[in-house]
């Protein structure tokens, strides 16, 4: 979901994961998880043809620790976890 006001845009989204396989012969399921992300961006018009875009994002804003795989099952071997909270910034120049 996003909201635009003048040259600013605020975006919020979520992800729900459920049903990833685990256990012998992949007969069981991992626990469900959810993560939420937020982003803020602005477009600054420099000339008629050029613009500068700036953006800042926070991924997994609640810093939820969640397991993608528990290491069991066929061909897995090691547990894997999803991304922790991350901060990202972007500057782009349109020409």
DSSP string, 25-86: GG-EEPPPEEEEEEEEEEEEE-SSS-EEEEEEEEESTT----EEEES-STT--SEEE----E
The boundaries of the domain holding residue 67 are 2-94
pLDDT tens-digit map of 31-56: 899 999 999 999 999 999 999 999 99
| Confidence at residue 29, expressed as pLDDT on a 0 to 100 scale | 85
| Confidence at residue 45, expressed as pLDDT on a 0 to 100 scale | 94
Q: Furthest-apart CA pair in the chain: how many Å? A: 62
Structure tokens at 82: 């999803």
Give the pLDDT band (50/70/90) at residue 60.
very high
Looking at the 3D structure of the chain, how many domains does it have? 1
């Amino acid at each position: 979901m996003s909201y635009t006001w003048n040259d600013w845009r605020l975006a919020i989204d979520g992800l729900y994961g459920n049903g990833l396989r685990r256990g012998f012969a992949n007969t069981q399921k991992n626990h469900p998880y959810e993560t939420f992300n937020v982003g803020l961006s602005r477009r600054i018009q420099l000339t008629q043809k050029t613009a500068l875009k700036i953006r800042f994002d926070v991924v997994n804003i609640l810093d939820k620790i969640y397991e993608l795989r528990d290491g069991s099952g066929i061909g897995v071997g090691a547990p894997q976890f999803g991304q922790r909270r991350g901060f990202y910034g972007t500057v782009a120049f349109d020409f």
